[in-house]
Amino acid sequence: MLLTIGAIAILGGVILSVNRNINNTGTILLHSNIGIEEVSLASSIIEEAQGLAFDEVTDTSAVSAPSQLTPANALGQENGDSTDLNDFDDFNGLNSNGRLEIDTLATGIFYVFTRVCYVNQNDVMGNAGTQTWNKRLDVWVWNTSSTDTVKMQSVFSYWTF
């Protein structure tokens, strides 16, 4: 009789341990999927931005001096049009409120924050505060189901020959 009770207790402990491990594995898989989607969304935004003109001015004509570019305090979408992304700095504060929400259905809503600034070639991590030949796009992506935030950056330069 005692042997049966002992066997049931051991079996109960094993079942609880297996259930805990299955639950932990599911949580790890969910966070991994969320992380992959965060990186994918950030990469997609950066790739789309890099496929556009460096500046609204350079879209149709050549520029010979940085002062001809969009002023640093005016980076972003022209005329508040959130559907016409035609140059790199249009990604500064997407949708005018600085944050974009993307619902993937599978893992919930992802929040995206973007910022574009001019940078000096000797300090690409800083903000130049004035027009230069280099712009940096910062993209943050997060999900309420995850404690991590993905931050990716890309520097885009304008070259004249």
**Nearest in space to 150 (alpha carbons), one of 140, 158, 160, 159:** 140
Is residue 70 within 8 Å of 56, Cβ to Cβ?
Answer: yes
As a whole number of angstroms, the distance between CA 158 and CA 110 comes to 31
pTM of the entire predicted model: 0.80
Summarize the confidence of residues 129-154 as an average pLDDT: 91
Q: For residue 99, what pLDDT is reported?
A: 59
> Of the ranges 32-36, 94-98, 143-147, which is most confident?
32-36
Mean pLDDT, the chain, whole residue set: 85
**Whole-angstrom Cα distance, residue 121 to residue 117?**
13
- For residues 106 and 54, the model is more confident at 54
pLDDT of residue 68: 93
**CA nearest to 139, candidates 108, 95, 77, 93:** 93
Write the pLDDT tens digit of every residue in 73-97: 999 887 765 667 889 998 998 754 5
